[in-house]
Amino acid sequence: MRHPPDERAVFRSRLLPYGLLLPQIAITLVFFYWPASQAVWQSFLVQDAFGLKTEFVWLENYRDLFSQPAYYRSLVSTGVFSTAVTALSLSIALLLAVMADKQIRGGAVYRTLLIWPYAVAPAVAGVLWMFMFHPSLGAIAQGLRTLGIDWNPLLNGAQAMILVVLAAAWKQVSYNFLFFLAGLQAIPKSVVEAAAIDGARPARRFWTIVLPLLSPTLFFLIVVNIVYAFFDTFGIIDAITGGGPAKATETLVYKVYSDGRLGGDLGGSAAQSVILMAIVIALTAIQFRYVERRVTY
């Protein structure tokens, strides 16, 4: 019996498929759809100080949020942080991947020695970098001080931002390196060789041939890195700065956490969550559109 290519042979059973789906659907409904819809619903409500009365207020919580300078500061910090992390980790990873792609001895060893930071927990990475740059006992902080730099990320907001960016980029280089290397190895050597025979120098070959062919990987990684900087760096920030000093490193995710911990404004906190959800959905949609294009490319 032949099937058309998209037709699968299937089993017949009335109840079994529902039973198989049950665990995942149940967990998803209880711990995903329920809280997500609660967040959306609460973002339209205002509760009085004693939690006795709630009132439906349409978009007032959102209007409130966008009238707070603190929220704008957090937006700007998130923008600076994610741009810096993405740019730094992508460029270092690309440089290393291009070097590792040359057929040199010990390529596999270099790969192993470069990819392991992926496995280090963000909070642990934060602790490591805090220790190096700790104003009173950090090895590198002392070096900076002998250079005449007044280094204290616990007091100086800009320095705190630099430190969390370094730690976050350090962790992400491994991931980007792996994907860049895979992308580079997929470029046919004959194309590069043809350009070399035409007399194109290595730098010119990189900019005119290698980089354009690598652009799908690059674009994919930009989205992944932004998502990482937004949502996976909570532990790094919490371990190094706790959002400070004076909220200089408070990203949007960190703000949801620290506002919520103070309690009180349930509706405002829910509105913040909803905005974050919208951002993730937008980023995921961009990524998927791109993935489809990569398939037909």
Partner 1 sequence: MVERRRFGNLIPHLILCIGVGIVGFPVSLAFVASTHEPTIIANGQMPLTPGPYVLENYWRTLFVGAGRSTREPVGLMLVNSLLMATIIAVGKIAISILSAYAVVYFRFPFRMAAFWLIFVTLMLPVEVRIYPTYKIVADLGLLDTMAGLTVPLIASATATLLFRQFFMTIPNELVEASKIDGAGPIRFFKDTVLPLSRTNMAALFVILFIYGWNQYLWPLLITTRSDMQTVVIGIKKMIVTSDALTEWQIVMATAILAMLPPVAVVVLMQKLFVRGLVETEK
Shortest distance in whole angstroms from residue 289 CB to partner 1: 14
CA distance 182 to 57: 51
Q: H or E element: which one contains 56?
A: strand 54-56
Q: How far is the CB of 239 from partner 1 (least distance, A)?
A: 5
Q: Of the two residues 125 and 161, which places its CB atom closer to partner 1 in the complex?
A: 125
**Which of 71/234 has CB closer to partner 1?**
234
Peptide bond connecting 122 to the previous residue in cis, omega within 30 degrees of 0: no
SS3 55: strand
Nearer to partner 1 by Cβ, of 23 and 69: the residue is 23
- Nearer to partner 1 by Cβ, of 69 and 199: the residue is 199
Token pair, residue 104, equals: 């040199």
Residue among 1 and 49 whose Cβ is closer to partner 1: 1
Query: Is there a contact between 220 and 290 (Cβ–Cβ < 8 Å)?
Result: yes
Give least dist CB 270 to partner 1, A. Answer: 7
| Minimum distance, C-beta of residue 278 to partner 1, in the bound complex (Å) | 9
134 sits in the region (left: phi over 0; alpha: psi -120 to 50; else beta) called beta
Beta bridge partners of 32: none
Nearest approach in angstroms of CB 131 to partner 1 is 7
State CA 173 to chain mean position distance. 12
Cβ atoms of residues 250 and 243 within 8 Å: yes
